[in-house]
Structure 1
Amino acid sequence: MARYEIAFSAQLAPGAQLELVKTNLGKLFQADEQRLALLFSGRRIVIKSNLDAAGAEKYRSTLERAGAVVDVVDMDEQIEEIELTSVPTAATPPAAVPAAARSSTSNSVAGRLHITPRDEYMAAFADVDAPDFGIAPLGDDLQDDKADAPVPTLDLSQFSLAPVGSDMGELKKAPAGPAPDISHLKLQE
């Protein structure tokens, strides 16, 4: 028996107004503004999963009447995998390849990942030059070596040291004025 999931990617039915669809979905799901903002963020959100065909159609039609376009996906379908191209046989011998490139998968050539596009959307990224990042062995230094900064040449001949105990220009506090006359004040019980 096939199982389906309902996913929403903030797509609206033709002619639907965004505010009206938000209001309708807010009523359907009893959602607050924060959940509606997440729902309309543009990311693919699974609303319900593990439905039979009748339940999936019921959800789809209800959400369509609310103005939302949802995807009904068969959960039993095989997930499409990306095929990686193999290393050409005319490549440099393994002894000449650096250890970092040898430790990565055999699907990389000179530290670059090559993929075969699975569909029209992925074909747009076929010419992207992406590095093949791998996982470094335990204990390796992951930070690139930095060149030592040049020591600045400073002319300090114009400065001198003051003798010990010298006043270094600190301002002295003004002497306190005379104490106020409080002889006229008395305590009563």
Structure 2
Amino acid sequence: MPLFEIAFQGQVRSGVTQDQARARIGQLFQVGGEQLDVLFSGRRVVIKQGLDESAAEKYRQAIERAGALCSIDPMDAAAEPVRPHSQAEQATVQSQSSHVEPRDAYMAAFRNVEAPDFGIAPAGADMQDDYDTFTPLPIDLSALSLAPPGADLDQLKPAIDARVPDTDHLKLED
């Protein structure tokens, strides 16, 4: 099954201003400021990869509804899907590092960064670590109960016996 990637170069649809498209794309992907600057810089930015044709088409439609244009490009067929690494492979991957070249003046601060070459998991991959077995604690909860929906959860105030003092022996003088 061929896989596709969604690429964006900051192009907007006719009849839509750059500011409108930026605001809508920001809402669509829940990003702001600097991330939007990167998206609308004019450089080709891959938004999502490893999608089947129908999922890629859904992304394209959502981006076009937001007022921007994107392209759906087939991914290299030779690339094999990323699989989780064993602990020994993780140590090997972490020891291998690649040199990151800056793509613009903003990224020049990262010129000498040594970064491990991690892959990207395919869409739908389980990213959760192995689950530990659940061991219930020996706690007796039988004395607890739940309040009905809409109940007032404030603490009940104790009833106070208000004793009225005896004032019969007091007199007011003029």
Give TM class, smaller chain. 0.3 to 0.5
- TM-score (norm. length: structure 2): 0.43
Q: Which structure has more helix as a fraction of its residues?
A: 2
**Taking CA–CA contacts closer than 8 Å with sequence separation of 6 or more, which of the two structures ends up with the larger relative contact order?**
2
The two structures have a TM-score, normalised by structure 1, of 0.40
Name the larger-Rg structure.
1
